[in-house]
Structure 1
Amino acid sequence: MGLVVPAVLLRHPRYTVLVAVTFVIATLVLTAPSAPSVLLGSNVGLGSTSSLNSESWVEDAVREEEVRYGVMLKDRAAMVRKYGPTPESVQAYAYSTQFPEGLLYTLWDFYIPSFQCPHRVERLGTMGDGGKWVCGFERVAKQPECVIYSFGINEESSFEAALLTRSPGCQVWGYDFSVSRFGPEIESLPALKSRSHFHPYALSARDAHAPEASPPEYTLASLMAANNHTWIDVLKVDIEGAEFESLAQFVDDFSGGNGVLPVGQMQLEIHAREWSGYGDFAHFNVWWEKLERAGMRPFWTEANLVYLNIFKSGLMRVYWLQYSFLNVRGEHALVSDKYN
């Protein structure tokens, strides 16, 4: 028997197209899987799919991103060979006087934030200098307790205040030898100040806090031990170049062998200038790869355009960049399905 087509469809071909399209869409909806296993196309909303996806959706997403990150590492090695061919022969900042036209690059082009956080990424704190990009803080905020460490206050605490406001279980430990307290965003609000702890100490690669020390210097491991902490949920570091040796020591203290760096995520301002000792590519690359071997993966970056504008000149380089890192190791809220 042939297909019987209603007369109305023969008289109005547009209706025929509409019916066909509707039929195709309905078929796709009815035959599609109940939910995607992992959504990797966007940073927004992934955390809300946990009830639809498999029970291991977070860990699956992290594993898939690790594969993609491995591809980026190969691309970086190829870029080093192109401009090097070894790290020791790569210039951190290339100018047209050094290379033919079309071969310009910066240090930061080698270190792109290619790891995608499997949760919502958002900027907390004031717009402009002060705010930071964080991964999945809605998951951290659900914990009964969370620990925040902040190095470099400079009388501006909008980021720390935003974290405390979002999670009543969070407390923040702040360190900065150049000021005597947190910024007004915390100091002016008793509810936040009661969950904040400030010390005029310097983060360092050594412990030098004898009574005559000025300023007192502490390693991150020593501060955690003094505070009886075994884990930091959010670590913010903005210490004007001292981050290199301090964080290298942090990695050495905790992640040797199969150890896990005790931090969930890190918001870091990097100051890659000559005076820091890490203005050359090879030295910087060794330090960066040390973080990577410890499980730290950059998921966001933001240039500090405020200072670029302040010190603007024809030869000004972008020395300061904000990076946000996720620790893919350990068992914590951002990488483990046990926290769903």
Structure 2
Amino acid sequence: MGSVWKRHPRYSIFLVFLLLAICFVLIPSAPYEPSYNHVAFEDTTPNVQQRFALSEAIYEKALMDRKALLRRFGPLPEDVETFPDHDKPYTIWNFFPAAFNCPYEVRHLGTLADGGKWVCGLSRLERQPDCIIYSFGISGDSTFEAELLQNTKHCHVWGYDFSVKGFTNDIPEAERWRTTFHAFGLAGSDRPATSNEPAMYSLQSLMAMNGHDHIDLLKIDIEGWEFETLEELIKPYLISGEPLPFAQLQLEIHVWDKSFASFLKLWEMLEAAGLRPFWTEPNLVYVDYAKATPSLTEYSFINIKGDNVLTRPAMTRRLPPPRHPHGP
């Protein structure tokens, strides 16, 4: 050993450190005593409240940019065209970017063509024991509702559309028990059915009929009637100061004959009620089909006010402290 040390001192020092490290690992130490209860987070998104605050600050910048764009091409809302000629480099959608950030994962559900929607925090909905989804405007495509059911265990979908008889075969029979369908329409106020018109109900009335006090996801695609409907829906909540009863909104907006000023009025009502857009997608299928301007656009909103599935802190469950591998 002495001769090895003299001939290879660096090699010998390395062997000494290696032996010490092996002894440190193999010799049992005292059991680990934690100074606090360990908490296992079911949601790994760090500090959701901070993310909401940061997103709101970013959104405030978007509001200032909108005012600057309005001054440039207005200055009054009545002066702005929805889709001007080529001499003005903007469309109505440039004033309303989806500038808010979803603090969770964002997923597209349903067909990649017309009918699919972008959803924030599907993982949160998946763990809700009383997950409630309302879908207005089924038409001939139920792929969005089908994927919602396939990706959740406890969600129930209430569908409404007076133009069809029910959900399509996109929803498999095994999931049908988690759906309810009515041939009603969504409106700003209740109107009974007549010989020429279907029954129309406000969102508040339908929730009362179903015994619901919250909606985790609300989809609205009602071919232009969203302006009247949303204005009447939001007004009472703005007056009372109460938060809207849904956590997020997937909305297709139709501005066929709407002025910029009327759209701005609706949009500012949505913002005042706490809705923030986190995703937007123009309906290019309509542009190609009708050979028209992009008058239809999908928006997805988060409701940042009140206690809902997206705003409440991450749920936790307490676990016993871990044991040291060599402890009792």
Q: How does 1:147-296 map to 2 (within 5 A)?
A: 147-186=132-171, 189-210=172-193, 212=195, 214-274=197-257, 279-296=258-275
2:297 counterpart residue number: 321
- The answer to whether the 8 A contact 1:113-1:298 is kept is yes
**3-state SS, counterpart of residue 308 of structure 2:** coil
1:73 maps onto 2:63 in alignment: yes
- The answer to whether the 8 A contact 2:246-2:303 is kept is yes
RMSD: 1.5
**3-state SS, counterpart of residue 331 of structure 1:** coil
**3-state SS, counterpart of residue 232 of structure 1:** coil
1:60 maps onto 2:39 in alignment: no
- The answer to whether the 8 A contact 1:333-1:339 is kept is no
Distance apart, 1:92 and its partner CA: 1.4
Alignment partners' CA distance in 2, 1:339 and 1:283: 41
Structure 1 stretches lacking a partner, 5+ long: 1-46
Aligned residues with identical type, % of pairs: 44
Alignment partners' CA distance in 2, 1:89 and 1:95: 14
Alignment partners' CA distance in 1, 2:63 and 2:315: 30
**3-state SS, counterpart of residue 216 of structure 2:** strand
Distance apart, 1:155 and its partner CA: 2.3
Distance apart, 1:333 and its partner CA: 2.2
Q: Which amino acid aligns with 1:147?
A: I
2:21 counterpart residue number: none
**3-state SS, counterpart of residue 309 of structure 1:** helix
**3-state SS, counterpart of residue 193 of structure 1:** helix
Distance apart, 1:49 and its partner CA: 4.1
Distance apart, 1:212 and its partner CA: 4.7
Distance apart, 1:309 and its partner CA: 0.8
- The answer to whether the 8 A contact 1:221-1:253 is kept is no
Q: Which amino acid aligns with 1:224?
A: M
Distance apart, 1:254 and its partner CA: 3.1
Alignment partners' CA distance in 1, 2:58 and 2:278: 12
Alignment partners' CA distance in 1, 2:202 and 2:44: 39
Deviations 1:160-217 (A, max 9, x none): 111111112110110101001111112xx23211111111111111211156562111
**3-state SS, counterpart of residue 74 of structure 1:** helix
TM-score normalized by structure 1? 0.78
Q: Which amino acid aligns with 1:149?
A: Y
2:5 counterpart residue number: none
Q: Which amino acid aligns with 2:280?
A: T
Q: Which amino acid aligns with 1:79?
A: L
Distance apart, 1:311 and its partner CA: 1.1
**3-state SS, counterpart of residue 240 of structure 2:** coil
Higher Cα Rg, which structure: 2
- The answer to whether the 8 A contact 2:43-2:314 is kept is no
Deviations 1:255-309 (A, max 9, x none): 43321001111111100111xxxx2111110011000000000000111111111
Alignment partners' CA distance in 1, 2:201 and 2:302: 24
**3-state SS, counterpart of residue 256 of structure 1:** helix
Q: Which amino acid aligns with 2:283?
A: N
Q: Which amino acid aligns with 1:258?
A: G
Deviations 1:103-123 (A, max 9, x none): 311000000000010110010
- The answer to whether the 8 A contact 1:125-1:161 is kept is yes
**3-state SS, counterpart of residue 164 of structure 2:** coil
**3-state SS, counterpart of residue 141 of structure 2:** coil
TM-score normalized by structure 2? 0.81
- The answer to whether the 8 A contact 2:186-2:203 is kept is yes
Indicate the structure whose relative CO is greater, using CA pairs within 8 Å and at least 6 residues apart: 2
Q: Which amino acid aligns with 2:260?
A: F
